[in-house]
Structure 1
Amino acid sequence: MDKLYNMSIFARVVEMGSFTAVANHLDTTVGNISRAVSVLEDSLDTKLMQRSTRRLVVTDAGRRFYDRCVAILADVEHAEAEARDALLEPRGALRVHSVPGLGRNLVTRAVLAYRKSYPEVSVELLLSQRMPNLLEEQLDVGIVIARTLPDSAYVSQNIGTSHCILAASPAYLATHRAPACPDDLVDHQCVLLGTVDYAPDEWRLQSPAGDSIFRPTGPHFSVNDMDSMSHALRDGAGIGLLAAFSAIDDLRSGALVRVLPQYHTHVRNVYAVYPSRQFVDAKIKRFVESLKTHVAEPLEGYAKELEIAPALRTGPEVVRA
Structure 2
Amino acid sequence: MDKVYNMSVFVKVVEMGSFTAVANHLDTTVGNVSRAVSVLEEGLNTRLLQRSTRRLAVTDAGRRFYERSVSILAEIDHAEAEARDALLAPRGTLRVHAVPGLGRQLVTRAALAYRQTYPDVSVDLLLSQRMPNLLEEQLDLAIVIARTLPDSAYVSQKIGSSHCVLAASPEYLARHPAPEQPKDLVDHTCVLLSTVDYAPDEWHLESPAGNASYRPAGPHFSVNDMESMQVALRSGAGIGLLAGFSAIDDLRNGTLVRVLPQFHTSVRNVYAVYLSRQFVDAKIRCFIDALKVHVGDPLQSYANELAIECELS
Partner of residue 154, structure 1: 154
SS in 2 for 1:136: coil
- Deviation of 1:150 (Å): 1.3
State the alpha-carbon separation in 2 of the partners of residues 141 and 83 from structure 1.
19
Partner of residue 163, structure 1: 163
State the alpha-carbon separation in 2 of the partners of residues 176 and 245 from structure 1.
26
Contact 1:159–1:272 (CA<8 Å) still a contact in 2? yes
1:101-116 equivalences in 2 (<5 Å): 101-116=101-116
Q: Which amino acid is the alignment partner of residue 275 of structure 1?
A: L
Q: Which amino acid is the alignment partner of residue 175 of structure 1?
A: R
Partner of residue 211, structure 1: 211
- The yes-or-no answer on 1:234 pairing with 2:234 is yes
SS in 2 for 1:87: helix
Partner of residue 296, structure 1: 296
SS in 1 for 2:211: strand
1:1-321 equivalences in 2 (<5 Å): 80=80, 83-307=83-307
State the alpha-carbon separation in 1 of the partners of residues 206 and 84 from structure 2.
51
1:183-209 per-residue CA deviation (whole Å, 9 max, x = no partner) reads 000000000111111110100000001
State the alpha-carbon separation in 2 of the partners of residues 262 and 150 from structure 1.
31
RMSD over aligned CA atoms reads 1.9
SS in 1 for 2:124: strand
State the alpha-carbon separation in 2 of the partners of residues 308 and 137 from structure 1.
42
1:211-240 per-residue CA deviation (whole Å, 9 max, x = no partner) reads 101000111110111100000000000000
1:282-309 per-residue CA deviation (whole Å, 9 max, x = no partner) reads 0000000000000000000000000179
Q: Which amino acid is the alignment partner of residue 235 of structure 1?
A: S
Q: Which amino acid is the alignment partner of residue 213 of structure 1?
A: S
SS in 2 for 1:307: helix
- Deviation of 1:81 (Å): 6.2
SS in 1 for 2:293: helix
State the alpha-carbon separation in 2 of the partners of residues 107 and 253 from structure 1.
22
- Deviation of 1:84 (Å): 4.9
- After superposing on structure 2, the runs of 4+ consecutive aligned residues of structure 1 that deviate more than 2 Å are 79-84
Contact 1:81–1:87 (CA<8 Å) still a contact in 2? no
SS in 1 for 2:87: coil
Q: Which amino acid is the alignment partner of residue 232 of structure 2?
A: A
1:52-97 per-residue CA deviation (whole Å, 9 max, x = no partner) reads xxxxxxxxxxxxxxxxxxxxxxxx9xx8366550011000000000
Q: Which amino acid is the alignment partner of residue 88 of structure 1?
A: L
State the alpha-carbon separation in 2 of the partners of residues 229 and 269 from structure 1.
21
In structure 2, list runs of 5 or more residues that go unmatched: 4-75
SS in 2 for 1:144: strand
SS in 2 for 1:167: strand
Contact 1:99–1:144 (CA<8 Å) still a contact in 2? yes
TM-score of the two chains, using structure 2 as the length reference: 0.72
SS in 1 for 2:307: coil
State the alpha-carbon separation in 1 of the partners of residues 278 and 287 from structure 2.
18
State the alpha-carbon separation in 2 of the partners of residues 133 and 247 from structure 1.
30
Distance 1:228 1:83, change over 3 A: closer
1:135-190 per-residue CA deviation (whole Å, 9 max, x = no partner) reads 00000010000011111100000110010000000000001010000000000000
Distance 1:121 1:176, change over 3 A: same
State the alpha-carbon separation in 1 of the partners of residues 84 and 187 from structure 2.
64
Distance 1:133 1:217, change over 3 A: same
State the alpha-carbon separation in 1 of the partners of residues 81 and 152 from structure 2.
25
Provide the aligned length of Structure 1 versus Structure 2: 234
